[in-house]
Amino acid sequence: MLDRQLQDTIKQFEKIKGTVTKIDRNTKQLVKALERGDKIIITTLQ
């Protein structure tokens, strides 16, 4: 629960839409974000 709250809090600091990518489902989502060259990626995947 804390991880999700932390991700949501960080996401709120996003000034320009699309700057922060939240990874919350699986590693495929993370791979896509890295391939796109996303600037800020937040994740708590284990």
2-26 pLDDT per residue, tens: 678 888 888 887 777 778 898 988 9
pLDDT recorded at residue 11: 80
- The pair phi, psi for residue 13, each rounded to 5°, is -80, -5
Contact 32, 43 (CB under 8 A): no
For residues 4 and 22, the answer to whether their CB atoms sit within 8 Å is no
Q: What is the mean pLDDT of residues 33-37?
A: 95
pTM over 0.95: no
Taking the C-alpha atoms of residue 1 and residue 7, their distance in angstroms, rounded to an integer, is 10
Break the chain into its structural domains and give their ranges.
2-43
| Cα(37)–Cα(21) distance, integer angstroms | 10
Work out the pLDDT band at 1, boundaries 50, 70, 90.
low
